[in-house]
Homo-oligomer: A and B are copies of this chain.
Amino acid sequence: MQTSSKLALRQTLLDHIAQGNLIPGASLPSERSLALRFQMSRNAVREVMQGLQQEGWIEVRQGGRSRCVNRLQSYMEHGQSIETSLSHQLDVLEARAFLEGETAYFCALRASDQELDALAQEYRAMLQRRKGQSTLLKAKADLTFHMMIAESSHHLLLISYSQLFYERYFNAIHEVLSTTLKRYGRYPDGISQQHEKIHQAIQARRPDQARLEAKEHILYTRRLLEAT
């Protein structure tokens, strides 16, 4: 009976990870609370956690919370240099186009109602904030919006990839935005409209439409940069 509890706990946690409820970096419930919820001793919980840790799913530190791990990390450990060349930025945007399309697709498909509400709220806040702020903050707000979409996709691979992508290529993305803003003085109408279209498609739960809009949005940005 207790052995099945251990398996149940393990499976539950793995499911949460696989389904994107426990995204990389998110903290797991404490051992004590899990023991309580699953009606098992903390001892048994620890053994499950240790197993998951050993398999590279979670990260455990004394005192701190246990965290879900981004398993793609090791695949990105090559080449620390973040290129700022034009060709590299174009490459980044090409990859991002695919990524954004898929995350938008799965977000529209899988996001919970609460997540959609939160997304709408963040979107409105982004519109407000956009009026008078530094380029850096605008870029951050932009990324936050896109990251929320990614996190609501409940797609482990996409979430992991997005995290690393934004972490690693933030400078490149910021550069693009900076260049674009410098040229137009403000967000081009195209970009604002595209954000709006993406958001509407997601809220309407139209996955294919969301994918199309998101992909086009990035490719539009790419064309702007390319025209330099």
Contact = CB atoms under 8 A, between A and B. Distances in A.
Interface of A: 43, 46-47, 50-51, 54
A140 B152 CA distance: 66
Copies of this chain in the oligomer? 2
Nearest to A43: B43
A47 B49 CA distance: 11
8 contacts: A43-B43, A46-B47, A47-B47, A47-B50, A50-B50, A50-B51, A51-B54, A54-B54
A51 B49 CA distance: 12
Contacts of A47: 46-47, 50
A47 B46 CA distance: 9
Contacts of A50: 47, 50-51
A95 B136 CA distance: 68
Nearest to A62: B3
A151 B13 CA distance: 44
Contacts of A54: 51, 54
Cβ-closest 5 pairs across A and B: A54-B54, A47-B50, A51-B54, A50-B50, A43-B43
Contacts of A46: 47
Given A43-B43, A51-B54, 6 more contacts: A46-B47, A47-B47, A47-B50, A50-B50, A50-B51, A54-B54
A185 to B, nearest CB: 59
Nearest to A55: B54
A40 to B, nearest CB: 15
A2 B195 CA distance: 55
Contacts of A51: 50, 54
